[in-house]
Amino acid sequence: MSNHTGRIEIDSEDDILKARQTAREVAEEIGLGTTDTTRIVTAVSELARNIYLYAGEGSMEWERIPEQNRNGLTFVFEDEGPGIADPEAALDGEYSTSNGMGRGLSGTQTLMDDMEIETEPGEGTTIRIRKWE
Ligand SMILES: Nc1ncnc2c1ncn2[C@@H]1O[C@H](COP(=O)(O)OP(=O)(O)O)[C@@H](O)[C@H]1O
Ligand SMILES: [Mg+2]
């Protein structure tokens, strides 16, 4: 895989696996080590699963960010589901509408260098995460 960007549609358990595999390949290809690669795979897994569980379907787009002295990776998760009612509480890790631990989003933020959430009730959710080499 030597593309600079790619996209995966997420609407099944199998697509969560595809998203994980793609994230691992891309991270290894830009030269990230085992620890960062595992962080990315964990974060991607969580966000892809949230789309599947809470929105039913959506997508993941990844993009390499080549800079002069370092490489980075961006992943954008987008869905047109119900939106996250209280994103701040969700980032505090105290909020779950399922029987999950409610630690997915807060854990993801800890694992990544940057994370942005845009969400609107009834409109959907876009989450962008980034990791630098
Ligand atoms: N893509 C999404 N669309 C709608 N709601 C979401 C989405 N992702 C997360 N949420 C909401 O935020 C809550 C917290 O998510 P998370 O931190 O992953 O914990 P958990 O999945 O264990 O509940 C979820 O219970 C759900 O209500
Ligand atoms: Mg979750």
Count how many domains the chain has: 1
Q: Which ligand is nearest to the CA of 10?
A: 1
Ligand 1: atom nearest CA of 125 is 1
Q: What CATH number does residue 32 fall under?
A: 3.30.565.10
Domain that holds residue 22: 5-132
Question: What are the pLDDT digits (tens) for 7-48?
Answer: 999 999 999 999 999 999 999 999 999 999 999 999 999 999
The reply to whether ligand 1 has any atom less than 6 angstroms from the CB of 81 is yes
For the entire predicted model, the pTM comes to: 0.95
Helices (H), ranges, 13-133: 13-29, 34-50, 87-92, 104-111
Q: Which ligand is nearest to the CA of 45?
A: 2
The reply to whether ligand 1 has any atom less than 6 angstroms from the CB of 110 is no
Residue pair 91/117 in contact by the 8 Å Cβ criterion: yes
Using CA positions, which residue lies closest to atom 9 of ligand 1? 50
